[in-house]
A and B are shown apart, each in its own frame.
Chain A
Amino acid sequence: MSTGNAVGGEPPLYRPPVSLTWWLRNPSYLLFVLRELSCVFIAWFVVYLLMLVYAVSSGRAAYQEFLDLSANPLVVILNVIALAFVVLHAVTWFGLAPKAMVLRLGALRVPPTVILAAHYGAWLVVSAIVAWVILR
Chain B
Amino acid sequence: MPETITMEVWRYRPEHESEPTWDAYDVPLRKEWAVLDGLNHIKDQLDGTLSYRWSCRMGICGSCGMTVNGEPKLSCSTFLTDYAPGPVRVEPMRNFPVIRDLVVEMGDFMAKLPAVKPWLVSDDEPDEDTEYLQTPVEMDDYKRYSMCINCMLCYSACPVYALDPDFIGPAAIALAQRYNLDSRDAGAEDRRDVLASAEGVWACTFVGECSVVCPKDVDPAGAIQRYKLTAASKAVKDLLLPRGAR
Contact = CB atoms under 8 A, between A and B. Distances in A.
Interface of A: 2-6, 11-16, 18, 22-23, 25-26, 28-29, 31-32, 35-36, 92, 96, 99-102, 107
A5 B14 contact: yes
B105 A29 contact: no
Q: Point out which of A15, A96, A107 has the most chain B C-beta atoms below 10 A from its C-beta.
A: A96
B24 interface: no
A32 B208 CA distance: 9
Nearest to A23: B159
A11 B15 contact: yes
A11 B221 contact: no
A92 B208 CA distance: 11
Nearest to A15: B97
B114 interface: no
A90 to B, nearest CB: 14
Given A22-B159, A99-B219, 4 more contacts: A4-B16, A5-B14, A13-B99, A28-B212
B interface, size bucket: 20 to 34
Interface string B2-20: 0000000000111110111
A15 B16 CA distance: 16
Contacts of A3: 15
A29 to B, nearest CB: 5
B207 A32 contact: yes
B206 A12 contact: no
Top 10 nearest A-B pairs (CB, nearest first) are A4-B15, A11-B14, A13-B97, A100-B225, A99-B225, A100-B229, A14-B98, A99-B222, A32-B207, A107-B137
